[in-house]
Structure 1
Amino acid sequence: MRCIIIDDEPLALELLEDFISKVPFLELIATCSNGFEATSVLQEQKIDLIFTDIEMPDFSGIDLIKSLDNKPMFIFTTAYSHYAVEGFNLNAIDYLVKPIPFHRFLKAATRAQNFLKLKIEEEETPVINKQENLPQFIFVKSEYENLKINLGDIKYIESLKDYIKIYTHKDKPILTLSSLKNFEEKLGKLNFVRVHKSFIVSLKHIYSVQRNRIIIDDKWIPIGLNYREDFINKINN
């Protein structure tokens, strides 16, 4: 994977450069001391992965990522833990807090490598198969509108008696009159899984699984006993 490092601290640049040299599947293309240098590199080179600090003069790592139309994968490397939620809301591959041990760096890099493999496999899957097996979007009635929702944008769905709440990248969830069971049938079973009597989650948006709960963004979602076996089988496969 072709990668760049962005950090205004020379020692941090040296450490990450050394780490990258020890990982066979990483190729360092450039080191940048600020976001402006990085933008020039990104315009001229094909980059798969960005390692970026967050707090830098003039142009923060978060500002840089938000400014990119076609985002490579990115991992935040920072001395501050309080940006973690915002980082993952931007779909960061990982969030490394300084001082970064090598084993933690390797884990993050491996996660990026696995994500890239899945993306390549998906792109190589014939389009006709994708269309036959998976719906790409649905329409739901909310208040006085029929809203189109891309399935890839759905993070999780929560049941509220006669209504369900659909959580996407937008700040406000979508409320529609439906049962979770009826909605589950619309979604297709490859990318979504029922994990609780009140929740369906998108496998794509899961950050981590911790015993009997799932974390998506800053939301903790319980795993019901009756759904656990099916869920574990899905993530293992």
Structure 2
Amino acid sequence: MDDSTIQRISITKLVKDHPNLELIAEHNNAIKVKETLKNEDIDLIFLDIEMPIISGFDLLDNLEKQPQIIFITGKTQYAFKAFDYKAIDFLQKPVSAKRFDYAISKVLDFFKLRIEKERISDDNYIMIKSNFKNFKVFLDDIKYVQAFGDYVKVVTKEQTYTVLSTLKGFNERLPSDQFLRVHKSYIVNLSKIKKYESKNLWIKDIEIPISRNRKKELDFAMASIGIS
């Protein structure tokens, strides 16, 4: 948000050109911004401090939930106060593309760290041993588990781990509201299922068989998470 048309156009172009950003709205006053924040889920705003009627600081003081902030201003005297609002960065006009990209790199690092902390705090992972090494594997990353002789293969979005375990024993370590054994040789992450029929399901392009006596369980499980 910026009350200067030229500066607003410049920042808007930088946002639109950045592959990791999506522009939701642009405004020239704090009242419109406050209304947008009520109706949209906004992660980050670029905020000018010197605004007509209501300053950028006043706007933040009146928000129930504050998104992440990058302040933009022509005066460096506001920098110290800006960081009282836990701003990610403080950009001085005119903003160069190089300085803008640096600020966004800080934003991306912030959200990456926050997501990682949320995942860890939820204990949404299991520890597995593969090739004599211990790995922390997040449950949301597991696509499916396959029996493989005396081992199981744990297939995630990044790699496959080979673990000494029976499929039954590994299944007992997984939350039943997220994972289901659909065949004598397969456990699947329900949220990863792209589609399924009477005898097979697909996780992306991987086809996995469904045992006849497991089909009703799968129907029930998928319905419970809102998919049928």
Range class of TM-score, shorter chain: 0.5 to 0.7
1:54-69 matches, cutoff 5 A = 54-69=49-64
TM-score, length basis structure 2 = 0.53
**1:220 aligned partner:** none
Match of 1:72 in 2: 67
Structure-to-structure mapping, 1:156-235, within 5 angstroms = none
Shift of 1:109: 1.1
Match of 2:5 in 1: 10
Q: CA deviation at 1:127?
A: 3.9
For 1:113 and 1:18, locate their aligned partners in 2 and report how far apart those are by CA, in whole Å.
Answer: 19
Paired-residue identity, %: 39
Spell out structure 1 runs of 4+ moving beyond 6 A.
none
Identify unmatched segments of 5+ residues in structure 2.
125-228
Q: Deviations over 1:177-233 (max 9, x none)?
A: xxxxxxxxxxxxxxxxxxxxxxxxxxxxxxxxxxxxxxxxxxxxxxxxxxxxxxxxx
Q: Which residue of 2 aligns with 1:101?
A: 96
1-side partners of 2:61 and 2:87: how far apart? 11
Task: State the shift of 1:104 in Å.
Answer: 0.4
CA RMSD of aligned residues (A): 1.3
- Residue by residue over 1:65-98, the C-alpha shift from the partner in whole angstroms, topping out at 9 and shown as x without a partner, is 2222211100000001000000011110000000
Tell me how far apart the structure 2 counterparts of residues 37 and 30 of structure 1 sit (CA, whole Å). Answer: 10
Match of residue 47 from structure 1: 42
Q: Does 1:123 align with 2:118?
A: yes
> Where in structure 1 are there 5+ consecutive unaligned residues?
1-5, 130-237
Deviation at 1:128, TM superposition (A): 5.8
Matched letter for residue 116 of structure 1: F
Q: Which gives a bigger RCO, structure 1 or 2 (Cα 8 Å, sep 6+)?
A: 1
Counterpart of 1:55 in 2: which secondary structure? coil
CA distance in 2, matches of 1:18, 1:126: 37
Cα distance in 2 between the residues matched to 1:51 and 1:20: 10
Secondary structure at 1:75's aligned position in 2?
Answer: strand
| Counterpart residue type for residue 22 of structure 1 | D
Q: What are the Cα deviations for residues 97-139 of structure 1, in whole angstroms up to 9, with x where unaligned?
A: 001111001111110111011111111114469xxxxxxxxxx
Per-residue Cα deviation, 1:16-62 (whole angstroms, up to 9, x for no partner): 01111221000000001110000010000000000010001111111
Q: How does 1:135-174 map to 2 (within 5 A)?
A: none
- The change in CA–CA distance for 1:126 and 1:92 in structure 2 (over 3 A counts) is closer
**Cα distance change of structure 1 residues 55 and 126 upon mapping to structure 2, 3 Å threshold:** closer
Q: Distance in 2 between matches of 1:95 and 1:49?
A: 13
* Partner residue of 1:36 out of 31, 35, 39: 31
Which structure's CA Rg is the greater one? 2
SS in 2 for 1:77: strand
CA distance in 2, matches of 1:128, 1:114: 22
The aligned residue for residue 86 of structure 1 is: 81
Q: Distance in 1 between matches of 2:106 and 2:52?
A: 29
Superposition TM-score, scaled by structure 1 size: 0.51
- Mapped to 2, the partners of 1:90 and 1:114 lie a distance apart of 18
